[in-house]
Structure 1
Amino acid sequence: MNTSSRLGGALAWAVLLPAFTAVPAAYAGPVATVAANSQTVSLEGAKALLDQSRGRAADLQARPALWDWTAPVTAQAPTPPPAPTPAEPAPADQPADETTDILDEVSVTATRRLTRQRDITATTYSVKREDFAAQGAQTATDALQIIPGFIGQPSLGGVRNAGGNFLRGFNDQRFLVLRDGLAQTFPQNGRSAVAQFLLDDLERIEVVTGGATLRYGSGSVGGVINLITETPKGLPKLTLEYQAGSYGFSRYLGKYGGGDDTFSYNFAFSSLVAFNNYPFKYTIPSSAQYYGPTVNQNSQVTTPNIDPSIYPNGTNSFGYGGPGDPDNSGAVDLFGFMKPELGPPITIQGIADSSYNAQDNYTAKLVFKPDPTNRLTLRANQANRNFDDQGPGANSFNNCITGFSADPNGTISGDRFVPLDRNGNEVACTGGQFAVGTATTQFQFGFPNAFNASTDGRVTFPTGVPYPAAEAAVGNILFFQKRNTANTDISFNWDYELTPTTSVNSYVYYLRQLFTTFRPSPYFINTNIFGIDPTGAGNLNRIDFQGATQPYSDGQKFEAQTALNWQLSPGQNLQFGVNFVEDRVNQQQSRGSSFFTRAIARTSIFLIDDISFSEQLKANIGLRWTSSSQFGEVLSPGVGVRYSPTNWISLRSNWSQVFNAPNIADLYVISGLFIDNPDLRPETGITYDVGIDLTPAPNLGFRFTYFSTYLNDTFTAITFVNPDADNPDSPTFQSPIVQQIQNIAGQRARASRRRLTGRLPTNCACGRHGRTRMRAISAW
């Protein structure tokens, strides 16, 4: 069944009901035509009813005459028989009219109020509850796979639990994930982890692609994904479910809800466990080769990593790692440095053992309407998660490290790491020097000339890379860790109708993300670089981690907004609002060596005018002013137009300025390889799109969109040699390389999108994805 149609049906019934009962004149309106001996409300009547409330907030709807909220929710008010007995509309959870035009489906995200898609200038999509079931989706990422412009890695049984998700070419720091209109971005890093949201209490997911800064502020450069929770109606209903699947998958669900137009409630518990012990196979096209032990006992030792107290031979690497390397016979000891020649392709395969993912979710939603002018909504959600961070997926890395060096040979001096010829001179890096991402190689990243033999006596590292069977390819050991998170969000909404054409919509919202992170200690690596007997003798080397990169972090977000909506005329709605948001973080940094507390606050004022000049011409124009305690002020205007010369052809276009504020982690956190950058400026840019919607039949639609977005001062991670690696007072002491988020040049994303949509009798969702072509002026 079509969820948007169900919503439309529910809206039509809410307006029709007063027509059959005693209603004050102020709330009276045109009555939809009801076909005799039919269960279907006419299309013309539904449109007329929606036109009556178009441009008004969600609570500006006609209401039943009786408002006795003390009556039990299961009580049914008696309905006097009308003079001609009309056919009853479909139940609230069924579509009122399956033949309704696709563009007449109602959405709320693009304008923050119930609006037909043909009245919206933005490009919008909807994934409904029946679509979840048709896909077998478990998480929001799974469900969003059918949305053009969205690219996401599977979150369960897939490549990585972290999930690389993109909307219109931008990652989740540049598009917003909302839950009932409230941002779910984490205060620490501005990310939203859309892959972690389960679908059990959702009615639908609405997606607005393109810049939405005007209505939603920072972070909505690529668009907005709104997870809309269900509001049950009817007798109390209890749902219990259990599922089991391959690769250690299991799921539990318990849900209880019901209610009426005065009071409704919904409580849900869901639990999901996925060990993700799936088989994987990965091939790198070429491998790095390293010089083995020298055969020249008089060669000069070049690396400071070899400590004579640990390596008995002291002066050179002769005798370690097997027989001498004929290519390492000169005056310079090249042991552990890269050769110019590329090695052969290498295939790694095995069973994933570091992708565990489990979560429990507790949700509650209460909606109370004590009288026709007030609506109160309380939402609460608690999500507890435990997962392996950075599991299989990054199974290889390029060993070349470039950078400036005052020394003529920056590789031997340790300022960079590029291939050397037999005489020890630097040569160009071809970009194909890949190494398998095992625990040993990843740990030694930055200390490459400490590579040695494995503990079983095989000469592995100097002659290429570790054998795939030597140790598990667990991804990126530099960032591998286990994480426990507890996410809490509570919101209270108050919708108050001042007059039938004026309303105030306000909310307060609190979000907290608390996480603890740790690494297994000791962590075993398969090498003798710390002086263990080269023959192995059953020994395994071990690293005792002092802590993870960020052992503890407590991020809290507080947001409050009030918006005044005036319906100036049947075709014009003016919205004026004030928004305040504060992100506050208290966490450890520098592997737990220090604590810090920081807060960033933003205040926004926005004014938006939505105008319907006629049934054919719609437009909106607005301005948002944002003041930040960190970077100052930003103005973000926007404008959009939709023109429909006929009922089945609709042209739309949008233009707006967008911005993305830097997050606390990039500004202030020193953690692992990352150093802070308090001078980071916000990303700002321009986005526009043009498109056409064709609906030649009520159940058939074709959508084409061309969009372009350009961002200035793009946030980019820059890697360079750590200038404080030898400073014991530095938080990055002994880290050979560091990374920092900097503003670099710009980034452009542009593409064309085509989508065929329709509703078939079997309720299957049919669509075709376009491709995104993205040109990044600067590297991510």
Structure 2
Amino acid sequence: MVCGGYVAIANANQVQQISEFPKSEGSARDLQPVAQTTPENTPASTEEKEPDIELTVIDKLLNEPVYSPFRREGTVKDSTRPVYVITGEEMEAQGARTVREALKFLPGILPDGTVGTEVNALSGQFIRGSNSAQVLILLDGRPINELGSGSFDLSEFTTNIVERVEVLPGGGSTLYGSSAIGGVINIITRRPTEKVTTQAGVNFGAYGLNQQTINSSGRVGNVGWVVGYNRTEAENNYPFSIPEANFEGTRENNDVIYNNFNVKLEADLGSRNTLTLSTLYLGKDQGVPGGVPIPFPQFGQGFFNSLTDNNRKYTDQVLTDLTWNSKLGSGDDSLLTARVYADFLNTRSDNRSGELTSQNRFDSNQTSHGIQTTHSWNFAKNQTLVYGFDYRNTNVRNTTFSYSTNVIRENYDDAIGQGAIFGRYEINFSPSFSMNLGVWQDFSSLVNGSFTSPSVGAKLAVSDSTTLRANYIRNFRAPTIANLFSNNPTNIGNPELKPEKGDSFDVGIDQKLGNIGLLRLTFFSNRVSDTIAFTRLTPPVNGNTGTWENIGLVHTTGIEASLNLQLARNVYTFVNYTANDPRILESANPAEVDKELRFAGADKLNLGVSYENPQGWYLGLLMNSLNGYPTNNTNTEFLPGYTTFDLKMRVPISDSLVLTGSLDNMFDRRYQLFAGFPDGGRVFQVGLSSRF
């Protein structure tokens, strides 16, 4: 197991097999055999017991299957781009309940969000100086970003459905289009197992955590399935203090309940065609506790937020797609993937605090329909071409209901159509040198929406132990529907907005350290121009107090470093470090020029040491450290850094019963992720799962 660092060792007769890549997720996994290390995919075992083997740090990291750098299946070592992966096994060992939590120890990303550390805390992703709306979220290789706000809350995804998550820093517009300025996060869902398997689990923990999960997976004849349900509930009422506001109290109205369902049906239509239907339902009902007002002397006023005891948020998401994979010709060198998908993302926020005149309900309803076609063709021994066509039409309706007047005001109800053709060509000039060239041509329904995104990458193995890599990608993000068409009096839309533009460069080295470790080091530069920002109109125009404009230029430089070592048999350690320096070079506010971009400039250090043996035992001590960062772009307000230590444990009680446990923030380090929004302090959880 390798997660941003720590390593798991696998029992050969349990988890290692040579098989074809899975045929779903719009991938080219059929093109080459690889070693799979997921217990659920293991065929019926033979009577003979094979000896235990150890997967080394180097082998496990470099041979990890990934999809996002290629838009087909490959491995980490094949990519010219740095890409970081966490698997479902690793999430179980960490006690990660959601995808947001699973990203904590990966390099290259600041995933803590801005409103707390609870299981339901809103997810915000910052990669290479970008904000959450500039990071593209993929589900099995297709976009799911909400085009009203531009982002997607990763705390919606519970980890029981996830096979792995890939983080690709540095943008991905050449393969995936809009919103990939900072990077791409690809959530790969579980596939049917070869034999019928049912897994059930319960998890209990601090502050009323109560979680139940059941999944059934298998294959009969030519039909496979994965069916699952996750129910997660927590009260999250914990004591906290905010010294700056002279406040002590208990976090209230912070409860949550999830009801998540997943269904995947996979049919083999002969030996060369596969049809897969996948549907996820993500439902969440949660309290919104707000924040403690923080006095800022320089402004002579408090922070514009307050504790709330009645506000609630409801999300109701349905994500569904139908995917057809077909091997063309008579060999295994050509795979055509066609997908149609439909997503329904509904969010309701009830603001019932304060006087009746200020109480409102906000509804956002998004419907997306899309198609993807991809042909991955290894047309020569040393050359591969991936090309295709994408189209996505998204409609968002946003309304405000006033409880005092019983009047519904429509803020916007509009659509964006985004189509594109793309291609990526890879050539291996020699066993040690390879290059890739890519281009994406976007065709948007927006006046200024169309965009061309080229890319180039190269990789050179200067020796058996040293590999150099370099990349350039031109990225973009189309304006959201709210940016363009909102008729809210306080933030009128601007239909003349242009896409945000990004130029991402990186150079790096992968250095093997004998047979005991691997160092991966990347220097990056990311420039984002035509940033879409809200500006106030002084004086107001026709009653409108503000609108969005293309202003600003941000240049981020930094490093991503990851070191994995095997200290002794079954003993491993990892260190990863992410340094960001996002500087505002141009802004409508002169006070922001040459200042650090808020939130995105924090530096992150992770380290850990772990013991894990082939029988499945795991014990790990992991550290997460973040330095201080500004919370405004004029850099007059800062939050201090913090360091936390987590203790993780996995104990196989029998062949089918596993006990897991974790003690997070074990030294009870209290901090704020956003001014007035506290962390949960020391928390524990204990889980028991059975596979039969």
User: What TM-score bracket applies, with the shorter chain setting the length?
Assistant: 0.7 to 0.9
Give the equivalent residue in structure 2 for 1:531. Answer: none
Cα 1:671–1:388 shift into 2, 3 Å: farther
Is 1:14–2:19 an aligned residue pair?
yes
Distance 1:159 1:96 in 2: 32
Cα 1:746–1:159 shift into 2, 3 Å: farther
Amino acid at match of 1:547: N
Distance 1:378 1:585 in 2: 25
Query: Aligned match of 2:282 in 383, 387, 401?
Result: 383
Is 1:57–2:17 an aligned residue pair?
no
Distance 1:95 1:762 in 2: 9
Query: Aligned match of 2:396 in 574, 585, 597?
Result: 585
Amino acid at match of 1:264: G
Amino acid at match of 1:752: I
Query: Aligned match of 2:518 in 693, 696, 701?
Result: 701
- Could you report, residue by residue, the CA deviation over 1:198-248 in whole angstroms, capped at 9, with x for unpaired residues? 111212111111121111111111111111112242432222222222223
Residue 553 of structure 1: how far off its partner (Å): 2.2
Residue 95 of structure 1: how far off its partner (Å): 8.3
Give the equivalent residue in structure 2 for 1:243. Answer: 203
- Could you report, residue by residue, the CA deviation over 1:70-122 in whole angstroms, capped at 9, with x for unpaired residues? xxx99979x9xxxxx999799xxx98788736323332221122212222101
Is 1:756–2:563 an aligned residue pair?
yes
Distance 1:247 1:582 in 2: 42
Query: Aligned match of 1:544 in 339, 350, 357?
Result: 357
Give the equivalent residue in structure 2 for 1:744. Answer: 551
Amino acid at match of 1:181: G
Give the equivalent residue in structure 1 for 2:426. Answer: 610
Cα 1:261–1:61 shift into 2, 3 Å: farther
Amino acid at match of 1:150: I
Amino acid at match of 1:769: Y
Distance 2:144 2:101 in 1: 18
**2:2–2:86 contact (8 Å) kept in structure 1:** no
Give the equivalent residue in structure 2 for 1:330. Answer: none
Give the equivalent residue in structure 2 for 1:628. Answer: 444
Query: Aligned match of 1:183 in 143, 148, 169?
Result: 143
**1:149–1:169 contact (8 Å) kept in structure 2:** no
Distance 1:765 1:131 in 2: 15
Is 1:667–2:667 an aligned residue pair?
no
Is 1:433–2:263 an aligned residue pair?
no
Distance 2:520 2:240 in 1: 37
Distance 1:6 1:232 in 2: 21
Distance 2:42 2:516 in 1: 36
- Could you report, residue by residue, the CA deviation over 1:117-145 in whole angstroms, capped at 9, with x for unpaired residues? 22210111111223213322111121111
Correspondence list, 1:164-243, <5 A: 164-243=124-203
Q: CA RMSD in A?
A: 3.4
Query: Which range moved further: 597-606 or 246-255?
Result: 246-255
Query: Aligned match of 1:104 in 54, 63, 67?
Result: 63
Amino acid at match of 2:366: G
**1:156–1:276 contact (8 Å) kept in structure 2:** no
- Could you report, residue by residue, the CA deviation over 1:19-78 in whole angstroms, capped at 9, with x for unpaired residues? xxxxxxxxxxxxxxxxxxxxxxxxxxxxxx9xxxxxx92223579xxxxxxxxx99979x
**1:187–1:557 contact (8 Å) kept in structure 2:** no
Give the equivalent residue in structure 1 for 2:273. Answer: 374
Scaled by the length of structure 2, what TM-score is found?
A: 0.74
Cα 1:759–1:217 shift into 2, 3 Å: farther
What SS class does the counterpart of residue 235 from structure 1 fall into? coil
Distance 2:530 2:570 in 1: 48
Correspondence list, 1:145-544, <5 A: 145-153=104-112, 157-158=117-118, 161-259=121-219, 262-284=222-244, 346-389=245-288, 391-393=289-291, 395-396=293-294, 431-435=298-302, 473-474=306-307, 481-499=311-329, 500=331, 501-520=333-352, 523-524=353-354, 542-544=355-357
Identity of aligned residues (%): 25
Residue 674 of structure 1: how far off its partner (Å): 2.7
Give the equivalent residue in structure 2 for 1:715. Answer: 532
Residue 485 of structure 1: how far off its partner (Å): 1.6
Distance 1:150 1:610 in 2: 27
Give the equivalent residue in structure 2 for 1:553. Answer: 364
**1:203–1:228 contact (8 Å) kept in structure 2:** yes
Count of residue pairs the alignment pairs up: 562
What SS class does the counterpart of residue 163 from structure 2 fall into? strand
What SS class does the counterpart of residue 188 from structure 1 fall into? coil
- Could you report, residue by residue, the CA deviation over 1:449-483 in whole angstroms, capped at 9, with x for unpaired residues? xxxxxxxxxxxxxxxxxxxxxxxx417x9xx9422
Amino acid at match of 2:319: D
Unaligned runs of 5+ in 1: 16-48, 50-55, 64-72, 80-84, 285-345, 399-429, 443-472, 525-541, 733-737
Amino acid at match of 1:685: G
What SS class does the counterpart of residue 451 from structure 2 fall into? strand
What SS class does the counterpart of residue 467 from structure 2 fall into? strand
Cα 1:719–1:249 shift into 2, 3 Å: farther
What SS class does the counterpart of residue 582 from structure 2 fall into? strand
Distance 1:272 1:167 in 2: 29
Amino acid at match of 1:748: H
What SS class does the counterpart of residue 102 from structure 1 fall into? helix
What SS class does the counterpart of residue 540 from structure 2 fall into? coil
Distance 1:62 1:246 in 2: 44
Distance 2:132 2:538 in 1: 28
Q: Which of the two has higher C-alpha Rg? A: 1
Distance 1:642 1:74 in 2: 34
Distance 2:428 2:259 in 1: 45
Give the equivalent residue in structure 1 for 2:579. Answer: 771
What SS class does the counterpart of residue 187 from structure 1 fall into? coil
Cα 1:642–1:393 shift into 2, 3 Å: farther
Unaligned runs of 5+ in 2: 22-26, 35-40, 403-407, 593-632, 634-692
Residue 160 of structure 1: how far off its partner (Å): 8.4
Residue 276 of structure 1: how far off its partner (Å): 2.0
Is 1:575–2:386 an aligned residue pair?
yes
Distance 1:374 1:722 in 2: 63
Q: Larger relative contact order (C-alpha < 8 A, sep ≥ 6)?
A: 2
Cα 1:156–1:179 shift into 2, 3 Å: farther
Residue 147 of structure 1: how far off its partner (Å): 1.4
Distance 1:361 1:240 in 2: 15
Residue 565 of structure 1: how far off its partner (Å): 2.2
Residue 696 of structure 1: how far off its partner (Å): 1.9
Correspondence list, 1:681-700, <5 A: 681-700=498-517
What SS class does the counterpart of residue 211 from structure 1 fall into? coil
